[in-house]
Amino acid sequence: MTRRVAVIGAGAIGASWAAIFLARGFEVAATDPAAGAEDFAGHFINNAWPTLQKLGLVAPDASAQRMSFHRGVAAAVKGAEFVQENGPEREDLKIELFAEIDAALPDDTVIASSSSSLLISRVSAKCKHPQRCVIGHPFNPPHLIPLVEVVGGAKTSAQALAAAMDFYRELGKRPIHIRKEVRGHVANRLQAALWREAIHLVAEGVVSVADADAAIAFGPGLRWAIMGPHLTFHLGGGEGGMTHFMAHLGDQFQSQMDDLGATRLTEPVRKLIIDGVAAEADSRSIGDLQRWRDRKLIEILKASGTP
């Protein structure tokens, strides 16, 4: 069982990862060059701890005080059995950061990047041991959302992929193995496809921003909290399942797919969406919305038995 994890980059994603690592009983060694990063991470973890306790995710031997903060990468990764990198989403920066992490570790320690869109084959380009490098992309906030996308690169070993999948399962996460590198991985691409059509419908005057959001939140989004689109439509086919669904509704869905928009985020379209979101938020601050979101996430996770 992995007992010491290094967190490289302790902003919102890194601090959230640190919270769940600590809650599951691990020691965490963190580093981040940003001013005030240690205070931010400590404050984040203290705020997240009661929520993790409510969800039953805090192990009996866990402690929020088992995090140490270090001035540099080499000190943070010393003795680590797993590394979770959370630096800025810049390929050039991550290439150098991965090379530095790689040089400071034994060659069998897995290094995972939280990158939401970059390819690990490129991120690990300067590593002497690229076979141990993977994408371990969480969804925000990682201490609550179970999904982790695990992606290997051209030189990633099967052993590293298996170790990463096992580690995330050990945390109580729901890792999925993405078998081919694509920019944005899978879940973000699915989100992008849906958002593109939502923007198209708003831009074409079909619906307001708020009503486009409501169409998901109070419709298919409720089903998507427990099952994905394929299983949803399998049930939609009745006793005949997906076979019946394809036979009777496949052509209808194909016609809708053919009619989907190809919106460009021009300045007028961006302003339309920004203004629409401001109206929908209705003076609620980002903090207000985050707290509301997390309360609802906790209710959903408890109701669904996840994790």
Judgement on whether residues 202 and 299 belong to the same structural domain of the protein? yes
Judgement on whether residues 37 and 82 belong to the same structural domain of the protein? yes
User: What CATH number does the domain containing 24 carry?
Assistant: 3.40.50.720
CA angle at 23 for the pair 75 and 60, rounded to the nearest 5°: 120
CA angle at 301 for the pair 30 and 190, rounded to the nearest 5°: 80
Question: Of 140, 159, 178, which marks where a domain is finished?
Answer: 178
Question: Of 126, 148, 178, which marks where a domain is finished?
Answer: 178
Judgement on whether residues 215 and 100 belong to the same structural domain of the protein? no
Question: Of 178, 201, 223, which marks where a domain is finished?
Answer: 178
The model's pLDDT over 159-192, given as tens digits with 9 standing for 90+, comes to 999 999 999 999 999 999 999 999 999 999 999 9
Judgement on whether residues 70 and 113 belong to the same structural domain of the protein? yes
pLDDT digits (tens), the chain, 307 positions: 569 999 999 999 999 999 999 999 999 999 999 999 999 999 999 999 999 999 999 999 999 999 999 999 999 999 999 999 999 999 999 999 999 999 999 999 999 999 999 999 999 999 999 999 999 999 999 999 999 999 999 999 999 999 999 999 999 999 999 999 999 999 999 999 999 999 999 999 999 999 999 999 999 999 999 999 999 999 999 999 999 999 999 999 999 999 999 999 999 999 999 999 999 999 999 999 999 999 999 899 888 777 6
Judgement on whether residues 204 and 161 belong to the same structural domain of the protein? no
Please state, in angstroms and as integers, the Cα–Cα distance from residue 46 to each residue in 16, 250, 285, following that order: 11, 50, 21
Judgement on whether residues 89 and 236 belong to the same structural domain of the protein? no
Q: What is the domain range of residue 227?
A: 187-304
Helix (H, G, I), strand (E, B) or coil at 145: coil
User: What CATH number does the domain containing 239 carry?
Assistant: 1.10.1040.10
Please give the Cα distance from 50 to 12 (Å, whole number).
17
Cα–Cα nearest to 95, from 131, 150, 133: 133
pTM: 0.93
Judgement on whether residues 47 and 116 belong to the same structural domain of the protein? yes
Six token digits for residue 39:
């205070």
Judgement on whether residues 105 and 59 belong to the same structural domain of the protein? yes
Judgement on whether residues 29 and 138 belong to the same structural domain of the protein? yes
End-to-end CA distance of the chain: 19
Judgement on whether residues 146 and 283 belong to the same structural domain of the protein? no
Judgement on whether residues 26 and 153 belong to the same structural domain of the protein? yes
- How many folded domains does the chain comprise? 2
pLDDT > 70: what percent of the chain?
99
Judgement on whether residues 44 and 147 belong to the same structural domain of the protein? yes
